A and B are shown apart, each in its own frame.
Chain A
Amino acid sequence: MAIVDQIEWCETPLVAPTRGTLVEQEIRRQLGLSLTSIPYLAPVPWVAWSFATKIQPVAHIPSRLADLITLVVSMENSCRHCYGATRSILRLTGYSQNRISELEEDFFHAKLDERSKAVLDFSRKCARADPRPDARDLEVLERVGLSRVAVAEVAYVATNTCYSNRLATLLAIPPDGIEDQDNSLLTRLFRPLVAIGFRKFLNRARKRNIRKYASAPGNPQGVPFGGRLVNALQGSPTADVLQSILNGCWHSPHTATRTKALAFAIIARTLNCPVCTAEASQLLKSEGLLQEDIDHLQTYLSSDALNGFESSFIHFARDTVNYQVPDIQFVARRFLTGMGKEEIIELCGLVALANWVARLSIILEQSETA
């Protein structure tokens, strides 16, 4: 039995799946496969589409390395859904069980080159964020020969995985169907052939993802939050993806924009990210909060300017930064039960996205130093 089966995971998802939606069909067409998670996210299209970017649209690091980053980060976050799915993807693309076990035990002792080890170590630091990685950690990646844009992609993949992990964990999405495919008799009998075919299939899905976001119409006013991050990712297809997801989140109608600004502000402050904290303060000001309200909020986690829901929400948001899976699943149920399906999904997506952005902002230190 693998360690993935030992993860404590709530058996009942937080929301029931919504099947047969247009979004689900479009994503299936786009990727060429059905993801178990999509029906759980489909009521909020931007969240469903964001989860489809788990097939990482990277162009400057090998896709195999992106998969290893996803494995290490999902394991770090003990996400049963993402960890199991990534493990199966690695197996289906030809990774042996022994090599995966080596990575799971300690990647420092695995048969990997120094560059991959440095990348995985950095990715794990992004996931922990306790403390958040700093410029010295970025220098290590540059020393092993990664270009500026490759470093940005590594950080993107690691923090995007943190996003998917949080989303799947908060909603307690069940294990992905791809695990069954990996265990099927046919796959076991023809594993080498399956690996060749699956690698090609994934590459096609990756390219389709890149094309979709590259051709997506941008917002002429730019993104309301994380604009500097999107700029820092320029040169990589990931910039378009992040921009699209941030726009989707901001313009989605299920959560008040002030709640969105609060999520970015509190999570950025919890993660000690000065850039995102400053940007989120501007957002809160544009939502009608005075500077003294914002200062009070960031110092004492309360403000008379907040309503009852917002006062509770900020505590839920900060709980999503560092957690143990059973605890956060309990906290999510306590806070979200009684809300509508769309609101639950969007709030989970929102806090996960705020975690993603505040963690990814490490790359600003690199681009600004350069």
Chain B
Amino acid sequence: MNAVLPILLAVALVLLLAFLLVRARRRIGRLRAALNSASLELQQVQMAFHRFAPRRVVEEIIRQGISIHGERQEVSIMFVDIVGFTKLAERMEAEQLVEVLNGYFECMSLAISQHRGYVSKFIGDGLMALFGTPHSNRWHALDAVWAALAMRAALKDYNASLESRNLDPLEIGIGIHCGPVVAGVIGNQQLMEFTVIGDAVNTAARIEAQTRFHQVDILISQAIRQQLDEKFRVRELPPITVKGKREALTLFTVESYADRP
């Protein structure tokens, strides 16, 4: 009896240790699976975010938190707005308005991305698009104007579909300007975006507002005009003073392009 008891105790101890070991391994396995799953999700988010910000910026955010410094870059900025949107909104049911707007944004975004542009933000019924960032692009001005012409063509098709449903066609104004900006991730932990800031951005917005005054759909600045060749048919408009600018701006409307890019 005296010999059996220690053996039983030893067996019980071994069994207990084995049980604890198995439980710990299972727990580690579950934790590892959870960690792998979280890591995979993070990588997916990271891959998705690469579309909207330079990869090195994404990695910097992951390693060090939100980057507080920006990079000075030369880019083209495009602002787009629906002409007479307020009246349009009054005439339509809310659901129909959302549907029309979503269809419109889809057409415009596609034309922009097909010309290497990036929709930085939607502002009500308008949007801001960037060319030359997140990926550097020496032909950003050309791409921006080609995108504007593609947007004009896409809107024509979209309007045809609206008219077939007895809905009013949309009219847009596009303003494009280029210049140095500071590009970076701006925001706080809750809300951040990769965007650009600088005088060129404000000027592009002012140019877009002038489309109503000149009653044209595409307006470009002198800086953009200088980067286009003779295949673009442009018309110079009388100089105009805009808010925030001491000197009058010479603007051009783009009528067509000789070749299809």
Contacts and interface: CB of A to CB of B under 8 A. Distances in A.
Contacts of B156: none
B36 A302 contact: no
Contact of A270 (B40, B55, B138, B231): B138
**Range of interface residues on B (Cβ < 8 Å):** 20 to 34
Contact of A301 (B113, B136, B142, B260): B142
Contacts of A1: 40
Contacts of B43: 3, 6, 104-105
A130 B136 contact: yes
Given A269-B138, A302-B229, A315-B261, A327 B40 contact: no
Interface string A266-297: 00011010000000000000000000000010
Interface residues of A, number: 28
Contact of A105 (B39, B56, B231, B260): B39
Interface in B217-261: 228-229, 231, 259-261
Interface string B55-89: 11000001000000000000000000000000000
Contacts of B36: 101
A130 B40 contact: no
A128 interface: yes
Nearest to A6: B44
B47 interface: yes
Given A105-B39, A128-B55, A300-B142, A311 B47 contact: no
B121 interface: no
A128 B139 CA distance: 18
Contacts of A101: 36, 39
B135 A130 contact: yes
Given A105-B43, A130-B54, A327 B136 contact: no
Interface string A128-148: 101100000000000000000
Contacts of A165: none
B151 to A, nearest CB: 17
B139 A324 contact: no
B227 to A, nearest CB: 8
Contact of A324 (B40, B51, B229): B51
A322 interface: yes
A311 B229 CA distance: 15
A128 B231 CA distance: 33
B49 to A, nearest CB: 12
Interface in B187-207: none
Contacts of A301: 139, 142, 261
Contacts of A312: 260
Given A6-B43, A101-B39, 9 more contacts: A6-B44, A76-B55, A106-B62, A272-B138, A300-B229, A301-B142, A302-B229, A302-B259, A327-B113
Interface of A: 1-3, 6, 76, 78, 101, 104-106, 128, 130-131, 269-270, 272, 296, 299-302, 311-312, 315, 319, 322, 324, 327
17 contacts: A3-B47, A6-B44, A6-B47, A76-B55, A78-B47, A128-B55, A128-B56, A130-B136, A131-B136, A272-B136, A300-B142, A300-B228, A300-B231, A302-B259, A312-B260, A319-B116, A327-B113
Interface of B: 36, 39-40, 43-44, 47, 51, 54-56, 62, 113, 116, 135-136, 138-139, 142, 228-229, 231, 259-261
